[in-house]
Structure 1
Amino acid sequence: MLSLSENILRIISGFGILQGILLAAIIYFHKKSDRSVNTFLALYIIAASLILTIPFIIHIVGWQHSFFIQPAPFLTGPLVYLYLRSFKGRINLRKAIPHFIPFILFFFIAYYNINKFAKIYPDEKVVPPGLIQSPTTILILYLRPMHQLVYYFMARRVLLSYQRSIHHLFSETNRIELNWARLLINGYLVLACIFVLVFPFAVFFPEHVAKIMWFNFAFGAPYIYLVTFKGIMQPTIWQVQPESNKENVEVEINDVENMETELADEKTKPSRTGFNPEKIEALAAKVVALMEHEKIFQEPELTLQQLAQKLGTSAHLLSLAINDGLKKNFYDLVNGYRVEEAKRLLLDPKSNNYTVLSIGFEAGFNSKTTFNTVFKKFTGLTPTAYKELQGQPVL
């Protein structure tokens, strides 16, 4: 006879399956969705939901036949990684398939282990303590969080690399910076850690497995809903930049990463092929002149490619000039000039009748959030606080 808590748990688990399918469909079929990216997020939501519904599935098919659901945690890591990686370029089958080899291997391992205990406990209706407490089972199950931990660091590395790259290419990154992805991968790590912490209780108190599983639902369900909401709201670079497409973005990001490698190798390879210090210095001087005299930084959506076209040079060479010649990335260069312009306007008596926000727009910022964030990054103060500190009236 099932307890009330076990019945409730299994009902919630059943709804969890429907929840995962529904939320994944919302992500995939949303009118603003880029399916080449959100396919991986939709699959991740389904995989995460399947993990939460393992007790329900075991109840339906019997623990002796539950080997097919046991490898589900080996899907989440690769799907998170591929989702973040797809913001940098197209992911084809050749790139994706190797990441799912552990899932396939674990499928056969789970089949062998469960089948072995099914022969020992053929008539057991619930998962026998002997299976849960088996050293083999414990070792196998702890392979899952180890695998998830590896993909956490891989996903984190991709995210940081992506954020560095867009700061070399764009002066406005507020909508494409993927700051929310920290929530995605950190939440993914928390769920893996919860399993590591909770599973020993299941080993020592197998009769309370159903109650222990409540912890997974308490954290997992809200996380899945939040990831769905944020995923829908997240545009890609090529959706935000009208002149961009996925192929061009991939080329640009690869070019930036190669440039970073060149700069990192400069000390050991001072005579890089095609690297001309005089040419880089002259180009850097042109960039400074363009910023100071034409105030091109006032264009809110200014990109590296647009600046390169204006100077009649390649984006790669321009990026080298900015990073090696001016010791800044493109984002910091442009926004540094915007902040200086905003500071000048904030203290200009002629601007006393203008609001702080209108001054931000005049300096080249395209939103209040970006203006406040960037201004504080460079000065340590918000624009309003800066103006008040100088004794100027604030509108």
Structure 2
Amino acid sequence: MQLTITPAIVLLFAVLAQAVFAAGLLWFAPHNQLPNRFLALLLLAIALWVLDGLWRAAGLYGQNANWYFTPIYYSLAFGPLLYFYVQSLVSQPFQLRRRHLWHFVPVLVQAVLYWWLRFEPYQTRLWFWEQVHQPYTYRIEFIGTWVSLIIYLGLSLQLLRHYRRWLPDNFSELSQLRLKWLRVLLLALGVVSVQWLVEVVLREFFHLYYAYDYSTWLLGGVVLLIGVVGLRQADMRAVHFAPLQAVEKAPQPVGETLLPGEASGGLFCASSDAVAVAPTVRQVPAAVDAAVLERIRQALEDEQLYLNPTLTLAELSAHTGLAPRLISFTVNNGFGQSFNDLVNGYRVEAVKRRLANPADVARLTLLGIAFECGFNSKTTFNRIFKQFTGVAPSEFAPQ
């Protein structure tokens, strides 16, 4: 058996080696265990598709007829593995249950077919290729994989969109939880899906079978992307994405009521001892419990929970004894903000107060002050500070 070494062969082999190595690291990663194992299986399933492309590019099928119908196709698992990866990543208590297994029935049928053919005589495989596979099952497999990927890709993007909307109401620090790389991965698979459709058209309507096989190279790029960035995902164990059910619309305001601790001024104003909530006069819906609002204000303002750089809605709930849903409703309707904006508002005001204190400025750097006020990332601090003040931290002039 001869193998002609070309740049394409070397590149495909490198992609496969990286895929196997990355899948092993993902499988045994200490955090995000279930989602990482879904991702490892997706990586291997795509790698096997690329392996078929390597064998064809190297001419190995033509040199060994027994390699035909080697069971390396598990493409109908691409979509389900992707979807369950996203679902288990954003909700760490997720468990794969019996009712989920029907998603994998198509790939099970696909695997059984190829394993059965693998042990049949060559004449049987040749007959199957000519009479069944090329005219029928190949189309079902190739087009079915495309349809499956499109459906599960849409479900994954929808789930990710809901998760990203839910995030600011539950976490005060979002930089490691936004899953920007995952969105890039899903969009990359969307590009592959478009190319897949092009190949379907070329093969079905112009009979160009394997003349335009760009999906192998595009999937190879997806493999590289997963291997590079999938391993860098932050520990998501604190994320239990379970969207709150729609809260009924609050009654119309019955009058103007000052929030506890309010005074004239902007959304927040500094005091000599603590960061005091001081929004402008706001109409508080009658449905908002003033005692609940006061307890939240007390926890953040007096007890300074905002100094916890990774403060979550669940932690605030545990500290105050209030239900997470009640806190979320009160923050949204009483303070008129998301949980993330409320907590970061306190942090920004603390930084502004410290910058006005010559002793703090002499003792600490700007970043040191930010860290002591609850920020844990320079990038996040710069972005949030400019969002609230309109200027970069280095340009801020204390009053």
Classify the TM-score, shorter chain: 0.7 to 0.9
- Specify the alignment match of 2:277 in structure 1: none
- Specify the alignment match of 2:372 in structure 1: 362
Question: How far off is 1:40 after superposition?
Answer: 0.3
The number of equivalent residue pairs is 353
Identity of aligned residues (%): 25
- Distance in 2 (CA, whole Å) between partners of 1:156 and 1:81 is 9
- Specify the alignment match of 2:348 in structure 1: 339
- Distance in 2 (CA, whole Å) between partners of 1:313 and 1:391 is 36
- Distance in 1 (CA, whole Å) between partners of 2:31 and 2:288 is 43
1:1-395 alignment runs, 5 A limit: 9=8, 13=12, 16-30=15-29, 32-56=30-54, 59-60=60-61, 65-66=68-69, 68-70=71-73, 72-87=74-89, 88=91, 89-104=93-108, 122=126, 138=139, 141-201=142-202, 204=206, 206=208, 209=211, 212-213=212-213, 215-238=214-237, 250=240, 253-254=241-242, 257=243, 260-263=244-247, 265-266=248-249, 280-346=289-355, 352-353=361-362, 354-385=364-395, 387=396, 390=397
Question: How far off is 1:21 after superposition?
Answer: 2.7
Letter in 2 for 1:371: F
In 2, are the aligned partners of 1:19 and 1:49 still within 8 Å (CA)? Answer: no
TM-score by length of 1: 0.73
In 1, are the aligned partners of 2:49 and 2:216 still within 8 Å (CA)? Answer: no
3-state SS of paired residue (1:219)? helix
Structure 2 unaligned segments of length 5 or more: list them.
117-121, 252-284
Question: How far off is 1:44 after superposition?
Answer: 0.8
Instruction: Say if 1:370 and 1:164 are closer, same or farther in 2 by CA, change over 3 A.
Output: same
- Distance in 1 (CA, whole Å) between partners of 2:325 and 2:72 is 48
Question: How far off is 1:298 after superposition?
Answer: 2.2
- Distance in 1 (CA, whole Å) between partners of 2:209 and 2:327 is 66
In 1, are the aligned partners of 2:80 and 2:103 still within 8 Å (CA)? Answer: yes
Question: How far off is 1:43 after superposition?
Answer: 0.3
Letter in 1 for 2:319: K
Tell me which moved more, 13-22 or 278-287: 13-22
- Distance in 2 (CA, whole Å) between partners of 1:312 and 1:94 is 36
- Distance in 2 (CA, whole Å) between partners of 1:62 and 1:14 is 21
Question: How far off is 1:185 after superposition?
Answer: 1.4
In 2, are the aligned partners of 1:33 and 1:232 still within 8 Å (CA)? Answer: no
3-state SS of paired residue (2:69)? helix
Instruction: Say if 1:64 and 1:42 are closer, same or farther in 2 by CA, change over 3 A.
Output: closer
In 2, are the aligned partners of 1:16 and 1:53 still within 8 Å (CA)? Answer: no
Question: How far off is 1:287 after superposition?
Answer: 1.8
Relative to its length, the structure with more helix (as a share) is 1
Letter in 1 for 2:44: I
Please give the per-residue CA displacement for 1:140-167, whole angstroms capped at 9, x wherever unaligned: 5333222211111111122233333443
- Specify the alignment match of 1:115 in structure 2: none
When the two chains are superposed, the root-mean-square deviation of aligned CA atoms in Å is 4.1
Question: How far off is 1:372 after superposition?
Answer: 1.7
Structure 1 unaligned segments of length 5 or more: list them.
113-117, 239-243, 269-275
Question: How far off is 1:168 after superposition?
Answer: 2.7
Question: How far off is 1:335 after superposition?
Answer: 1.0
Tell me which moved more, 321-330 or 33-42: 321-330
